[in-house]
Amino acid sequence: MEATAEPKTKDHAALADTFNKDEARVDWHDKTLWFIRQKRDKAAWQIPDWEHLRETASQIKHNVLSNLHHYLETFEKQAQQNGVTVHWAADAEEHNRIVHGIIQKTGITRVVKSKSMLTEECHLNDYLAAQGIDVVDTDLGERIVQLAGEPPSHIVLPCIHWKKEEIGQLFHKHLGTPEGNSDPQFLAAAARVHLRERFMTSPVAITGVNFAVAETGEIVVCTNEGNADLGVQLADVHIACMGIEKIIPQRKHLGVFLRLLARSATGQPITTYSSHFRKPRPGQHMHIVLVDNGRSERLGSEDFRNALKCIRCGACMNTCPVYRRSGGHSYHYAIAGPIGSILAPGLDMKKNADLPFASTLCGSCSNVCPVKIDIHDQLYKWRQVLAKNGYVSETKKTGMKGMAFVLSSPGLYRFSGAIGRWFSRYLPFMVNNSLNPWYKQREMPQAPKESFGEWYRKNKKKS
């Protein structure tokens, strides 16, 4: 049975509640992502200078963000000298119009596309479909969710929430595979046959961009399936879509980022394919679309500019206890997890006001980030910004004011603690009931006989 993405009108808590109704799915989703986190750890600590690599990457990105205008102009100049047409898009709408305009000039109605989170952010597929253009995602995970009518739930593992049996049913419906066959190798072979025909007949290929080198004007696309290479090499027109923050200064810096990217994403030493596209082959046209879409505004914010360092590895998702047990679609934004929760409010504060609260602030996301983004700190700061701008529910406002009042008075705090412990011991049903959100998923702990403060004062007197 096909899974379906929830309507975006619901907030993270409501969408997560839907995901959690299938407890078995939640459990293996959690365990699978934690397994990938463990692979990341093993791969990382095989490199003696791992922390030095992280710091170097962070500093390179800091330099880029501080001089972005210079590097973008240099990149444009070099790319144009390479025979590439460079376009600039202020927002998602302009990006979509530019891409459609390029396709329209070819007179075709079918294109192939490799993984690109920017095009997901801009909702390019929906836009082109409305213009009569059939876009086929060629990354296997992306194709699975596309056939299901879903957005990806993870930036590296788009269909991580799907079981192989469900994929078998999906392929039976759309690709005509035998009913009941859920063997991964068979399904992968069926997808290969299905996609090969699309590759052979599409004169336009769209790719994302992992890194853009200002020094040479080239772009680098990292994949494990080689779908970006095949699409581009068979196409007459190559359209590469990238956010303006993807720039790195020199080609030698790839030695830092390529070592970090795959290890952080999947625990691999390097992606199977790291493809460099510098100039169009004879007879081919190559376009690069540079997209802002709120990035310049983010760049001007001291508190949130570091989010632009992101290299889209997904490590923060794999380690996040909230993401692992709530699923990617609960974030109702193209990029899920902790990094999406600090990017989304910058685009639409009102629509995405719930996302910075979908976190325990444990800091694990910041610990694994290969470019050392202070994700958990930004989540906390976004909460403050949202509260100041009135994008917090009345219930949360009232609760936080009440807590502030209690915590600001030592006497009231001690009295409230004593009352709470008394109710937990003698009237547990007052705490252990459906009105307590914590009790829905947890067994409440046994209340201690005394608070730490009481214990400390008593033992201090004895000593």
Task: Return the structure tokens found at 211.
Answer: 């890194």
Q: Which residues of 120-155 are buried (b: 16+ CB within 10 A; e: fewer)?
A: bbbbbbebbeeeebebbbbbbbbbbbbbbebbbbbb
Q: Which two tokens stand for residue 28?
A: 């293996």
Residues with Cβ within 8 Å of residue 158, at least 6 apart in sequence: 115, 139, 141, 142, 144, 145, 152
Architecture of domain 65-293: 3-Layer(aba) Sandwich (3.40)
Distance (Å, rounded) from C-alpha 265 to C-alpha 36? 8
By C-alpha distance, which of 235, 242, 206, 222 is closest to 86? Answer: 242
Give the separation between CA 417 and CA 119, rounded to whole angstroms. Answer: 51
**Taking the model in full, what pTM does it have?**
0.90
- Indicate the domain borders of the chain: 65-293, 298-389, 399-458
Furthest-apart CA pair in the chain: how many Å? 89
pLDDT in tens, the chain (463 residues): 344 444 446 899 999 999 999 999 999 999 999 999 999 999 999 999 999 999 999 999 999 999 999 999 999 999 999 999 999 999 999 999 999 999 999 999 999 999 999 999 999 999 999 999 999 999 999 999 999 999 999 999 999 999 999 999 999 999 999 999 999 999 999 999 999 999 999 999 999 999 999 999 999 999 999 999 999 999 999 999 999 999 999 999 999 999 999 999 999 999 999 999 999 999 999 999 999 999 999 999 999 999 999 999 999 999 999 999 999 999 999 999 999 999 999 999 999 999 999 999 999 999 999 999 999 999 999 999 999 999 988 888 888 889 999 999 999 999 998 888 888 888 887 778 877 777 777 777 888 888 898 889 888 877 7
Fold category of 298-389 in CATH:
Fumarate Reductase Iron-sulfur Protein; Chain B, domain 2 (1.10.1060)
The CA angle 400-405-410, to the nearest 5 degrees, is 130
